[in-house]
Amino acid sequence: MEVGEEILIKKESGVAIISLNRPKANSYYQGFLEVLGHAIIEAGNDDAIKVILINSTSEKFFCAGADIKIFGTNTTERNVEMVKAARAVSDAITTSNKIVVAAVSGHVLGGGLEMIMACDIRLAAEGDYLIGLPEVKLGLMPGNGGTPRLIDLIGASRAMELLLTGNSISPQKAYDFGLFNQLYTKGEFEQKVMAYVNSLALGPGEAMAAIKHYVQKHKGMTWQESLNYETQCVDSLYDTFDAKEGFQAFIEKRVPKFK
């Protein structure tokens, strides 16, 4: 399978669907990550797109992280480059002006979990698959942003336990911890995911981008800095088409048609 066939891209109704397609576990290597990062950036530059959905063509795996066979035979220098490529994917997700949603219905481990934690929203299916960061069992720790993101999402105490043991948790526990935003039954998963992202794609793109970047930057700010940045963000939206359309639609008691 060529690397270009390992990342599938489809665009429809304001949504770019990027599917991981490297049997059997979507384990990644540098070329895979570079194509994935390029796909995310390209979708982010498309004015017709408001939401990027990342999913998997595999029923069993979302992503098992780095391909251990490749990682184990690489030189240290090559592995450092692979980790840099994984970080670049996370950076592409977090800096994108589009809302990035992960749809998970299979095992998501190591770098795969780090990838979805960089996303803005995580939707999951019920099942008996595993979620975890097992790097400590290899004498390592997460290196693609997994450590701070896990702490932010589920709290320091729970994150510490998962990081130190390398143990995995179930989809239900991940949802209970706050790692997943929604947990759907297996049978309704695909339908619910598409309904969710299609609904987001009807929203005001500039306002959603402003909210996304505010939430990200707020974490490292003082209270006053955060308030000032919120003011800066909202001030940039008052004269946009979407803001005027939103107010007009409210007055006319109709559904707004955002740009």
Residue 11: predicted pLDDT: 97
Question: What is the strand order of the sheet 51-56 is part of?
Answer: 7-12, 15-20, 51-56, 99-104, 121-125, 182-184
For range 52-81, the mean pLDDT: 91
- Sequential DSSP letters for 189-212: HHHHHHHHHHHHTTS-HHHHHHHH
For residue 161, indicate whether it is catalytic: no
Question: What does the alpha-carbon distance between residue 42 and residue 64 come to, in Å, rounded to a whole number?
Answer: 24
Global pTM value = 0.91
Q: Report yes or no: 133 and 109 within 8 Å, Cβ to Cβ.
A: yes
Residue 3: predicted pLDDT: 59
Residue 133: predicted pLDDT: 96
Q: Report yes or no: 100 and 93 within 8 Å, Cβ to Cβ.
A: yes
Identified catalytic residue from 12, 81, 135, 230: 135
For residue 59, indicate whether it is catalytic: no
For range 67-74, the mean pLDDT: 85
Identified catalytic residue from 2, 59, 114, 190: 114
Q: What is the pLDDT of residues 147-205, one digit of tens each?
A: 999 999 999 999 999 999 999 999 999 999 999 999 999 999 999 999 999 999 999 99
Rounded (5°) CA angle 72-87-220: 135
Q: What is the pLDDT of residues 27-62, one digit of tens each?
A: 999 999 999 999 999 999 999 999 999 999 999 999
